[in-house]
Homo-oligomer: A and B are copies of this chain.
Amino acid sequence: MPAEWVTFAFPLTVPLLADFSAVAMTSPAPVAEPAETLTVMGGGLVGCLLALYLTRHGHQVDVFERRPDIRGATPVEARSINLALSDRGWRALEGVGIAEAVREVAIPMHGRVMHDPAGNLTHQPYGQAGQAIYSVSRAGLNRRMLDLAEQQPGIRVQFNQQCRRVDVRRQELEMLDVATGQARTVPYQRLFGADGAYSAVRGALQRTDRFNYSQHYLDYGYKELTIAAGPDNTWALEKNALHIWPRGQYMMIALPNLDGSFNCTLFFPYEGPVSFATLQTPAQVRDFFADVFPDAVPLMPELETEFFDNPTSSLVTVRCFPWTYQHDVLLLGDASHAIVPFYGQGMNAGFEDCTVLDQLLQQHGRDWGQIFHEFEVSRKPDADAMADLAVYNFQEMRDRVADPRFLLQKKIEGKISGQYPDKWLPLYSQVTFSHLPYAEALANGQAQEQIMQRLMPHIQTEQDYQRPEVQDLVAQEMARR
């Protein structure tokens, strides 16, 4: 179990209940309509948050989770990755009153720190002063959300429940209790598939007619590694940053933990001259890392062991449509739009699904047909846009952030944004620090990139931005927006 969660104690009950009643007063569910028992497949981050939202609208919620209760897991079983929580995620957590408690154990990262092959560092802030994304432990966050869900009288979470089959016509689940080996058939009224990138619920929809679906893998895998804590749980690298070792065709990143360590991830080709396929012995791993990540290797005492003990994991983008089956089934989160992790938006997008659904529940009460329809139609373009942005950001992180011209362009964009704050919000900020629909952010970003391609030929240094002819060009571009 990551050390940061050992002493993690939310002041759970009282503020939550207070918060719930406050919301209930401002947006009561329509009175005449009876509550339903809803079924949520998946007790991960999105499944738990979804259950919390649904119960606020007066529904009973049954949550089925395939894995054992993570709160009883040993540290090895619960080996966690870190996620970058940002504004969309925070808003969703605030909606059920748990944001502040999470914030206590989240580490703000104000920018990227790039490590070049000689060990030189370059800083690039993520946004304006005070803005940050937050490193949180996935397992720790999941534990707390399970605690919260189970404290609600309307929510029941069952673990070790593997969904073997969904019969969407009969509205029945074939569930296997993997702890006891017992199989049973469970009827459902309304089913929410929050069961992740390999969703069993989506698997059932995929076999219905006219279900569009794709799963596409990058030729890259990833490997989790660790930068050890320094003496007295201090951080061996700058704590409040996301560290990147960009190397063109591959990269390593590191996110801080509360105990002084960093969770590192190597994103690396599966095949080719420099790839997982060619690193076969501890000596090869050590030599390679010493060569390309020289400043990191001394901080990674378990490097060879971790490299061969930890799995190599794949990177998939999942797209599908529809996200519904009639008025009975709805997919959310990774189940409908799994994305690669390079924009730090996978969890945030799934949490935002809950925000959007909550708004529709407030608007339409129990009119599930309308709610499901509006949800999938409005949300699908945003999910597609975010999937594209995530793949794009991999190129940016592993390659372009090592390019001085790219870094200069980012600085100029920052200056434009400072001078014309109403006309220019950087794409990264639109995605990370705003609630603009992802599809709008992507379109804005593409328009901004075209402007920068017109401006940058006139700019060789940061100071050039103040030159009158550059100022004129910028003013002309801004006048058109």
Contacts and interface: CB of A to CB of B under 8 A. Distances in A.
Interface in A223-278: 270
B212 A206 contact: no
Interface string A197-222: 00000000010011111111100000
Nearest to A217: B210
A214 B217 contact: no
Given A213-B214, A214-B214, A214-B216, 14 more contacts: A206-B215, A209-B217, A209-B314, A210-B217, A210-B270, A210-B314, A211-B215, A211-B217, A212-B215, A212-B216, A212-B217, A213-B213, A213-B215, A214-B215
A131 B134 CA distance: 68
Contacts of A270: 210
16 contacts: A206-B215, A209-B217, A209-B314, A210-B217, A210-B270, A210-B314, A211-B215, A211-B217, A212-B216, A212-B217, A213-B213, A213-B214, A213-B215, A214-B214, A214-B215, A214-B216
A340 to B, nearest CB: 13
A477 to B, nearest CB: 34
A210 B214 CA distance: 12
Interface in A293-331: 314
A271 to B, nearest CB: 11
Interface centre among A210, A213, A215 (most CB of B within 10 A): A210
Contacts of A213: 213-215
A268 to B, nearest CB: 14
In the complex, the 5 A-B pairs of residues with the closest C-beta atoms, listed nearest first: A214-B214, A210-B217, A213-B215, A210-B314, A212-B216
A216 B216 CA distance: 14
A210 B206 CA distance: 18
A93 to B, nearest CB: 32
A206 B202 CA distance: 13
A288 to B, nearest CB: 23
A215 B202 CA distance: 13
A462 B213 CA distance: 46
A209 B270 CA distance: 12
A216 B206 CA distance: 11
Interface in A179-211: 206, 209-211
A463 to B, nearest CB: 47
